[in-house]
């Protein structure tokens, strides 16, 4: 009887152990199943974010590029490329128009590209929106251009693009003074050179590219609100200037380019800021890849409040003005002749930034 009891106890112990193994195996299987489901769900979400099945060209560069068209295109691009393009508003103009910013890319390092700080140079906004559109499409299709992989570069570097810094000025240049919020005030401002289609200033008659707080008082040739050249009542007096300064301060950018029209040259050095051999090499490469000329060393005594000089002085980074096109008042129908020599510039800048040491 004792032997039978001992055998029964052994059998019960074995049964309990087997049951424990079965229960543990079941729990483990459930855990693995849940983890696999979560992983599949995460992978599916990531795939949906990065597979841009509806990718297509959005920007039509062959039309007069307006503020309203820019907003429409920006909305469409942000919706088309979730996770790749982010639309933000970093400020407002004197008349309350949005100062738009599009962030293109997933990389940690950032490059700032700005345009149309002068109203009549809205071709720069056209060009920058075109770059965002075509670069994003190239990323989605995993394409290359001139040996540069869109995806490889934009996974390392993000382009922070503010295509139209002066939408009020663009409105006046395109539509005349009657389109301004206060037509009478605009008509009362001094006019230099051409008619309203050559309007550079904002709606307050301040040349925003002479309003930044660097050597602001060096130029005082125009002392009243005007179509161009008036530096403003004080440095950084304008809401657009203040917004750009905040954008620069809030962005850890490695390079900056401010796009203007015209001349097919770059301004990248002055006798106020230090010129390094590294930056000289960058400028040489940009000139070689675009065919653009060099404006030479700017004399600090001759300029006042320029964006690119201000950025260079406050960040210590490579900053330049890029003059698009070979003639002033570029015709959008002639877009290709101006854009394609320069199309590679964002890729070249991204390639340089990606290779820079910390």
The domain spans of the chain are 1-51, 67-170+231-355
Mean pLDDT by 10 residues, the chain (358 residues): 45 40 40 42 43 93 97 98 98 98 98 98 97 98 97 98 99 98 97 90 98 90 94 97 98 98 96 93 98 94 90 97 90 91 97 95
Q: Is 286 helix (H, G, I), strand (E, B) or coil?
A: helix
Beta strands in the chain (DSSP E): 85-92, 98-104, 109-115, 144-145, 148-149, 157-162, 253-261, 265-267, 269-270, 293-294, 297-298, 318-324
Separation CA 175–CA 64 (nearest Å): 11
What is the CATH number that goes with domain 67-170+231-355?
3.40.630.10
Looking at residue 358, what is its pLDDT? Answer: 85
Look up the pTM and report it: 0.86
**Confidence (pLDDT) at 33:** 46
């Amino acid at each position: 009887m004792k032997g039978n009891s001992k055998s029964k106890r052994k059998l019960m112990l074995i049964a309990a152990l087997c049951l424990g193994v079965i229960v543990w195996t079941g729990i483990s299987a459930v855990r693995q199943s849940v983890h696999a489901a979560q992983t599949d769900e995460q992978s599916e979400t990531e795939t949906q974010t990065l597979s841009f099945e509806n990718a297509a060209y959005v920007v039509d560069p062959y039309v007069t590029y307006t503020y309203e068209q820019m907003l429409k295109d920006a909305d469409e691009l942000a919706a088309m490329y979730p996770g790749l393009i982010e639309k933000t508003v970093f400020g407002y103009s004197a008349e309350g128009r949005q100062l738009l910013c599009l962030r293109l890319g997933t990389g940690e390092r950032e490059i700032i590209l700005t345009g149309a700080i002068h109203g009549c140079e809205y071709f720069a906004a056209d060009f920058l929106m075109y770059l965002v559109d075509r670069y994003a499409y190239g990323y989605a299709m995993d394409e290359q251009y001139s040996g540069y992989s869109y995806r490889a570069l934009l996974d390392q570097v993000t382009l922070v693009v503010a295509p139209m810094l002066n939408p009020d000025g663009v409105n006046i240049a395109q539509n005349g003074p009657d389109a301004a919020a206060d037509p009478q005030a605009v008509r009362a401002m001094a006019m230099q050179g051409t008619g309203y289609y050559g309007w550079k200033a904002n709606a307050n008659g301040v040349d925003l590219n002479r309003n930044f707080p660097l050597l602001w008082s060096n130029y005082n040739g125009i002392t009243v609100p005007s179509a161009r050249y008036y530096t403003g009542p004080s440095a950084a007096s304008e809401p657009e200037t203040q917004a750009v300064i905040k954008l620069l301060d809030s962005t850890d950018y490695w390079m900056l380019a401010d796009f203007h029209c015209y001349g097919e040259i770059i301004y990248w050095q002055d006798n106020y800021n230090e010129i390094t051999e590294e930056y000289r090499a960058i400028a040489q490469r940009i000139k070689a890849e675009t065919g653009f000329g060099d404006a030479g060393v700017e004399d600090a005594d001759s300029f006042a409040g320029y964006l690119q000089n201000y950025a260079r002085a406050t960040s210590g980074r490579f900053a330049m003005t890029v003059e698009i096109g070979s003639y002033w008042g570029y015709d959008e129908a002639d877009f290709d002749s101006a854009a394609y020599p320069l199309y590679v510039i964002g890729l070249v800048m991204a390639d340089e930034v990606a290779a820079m040491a910390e």
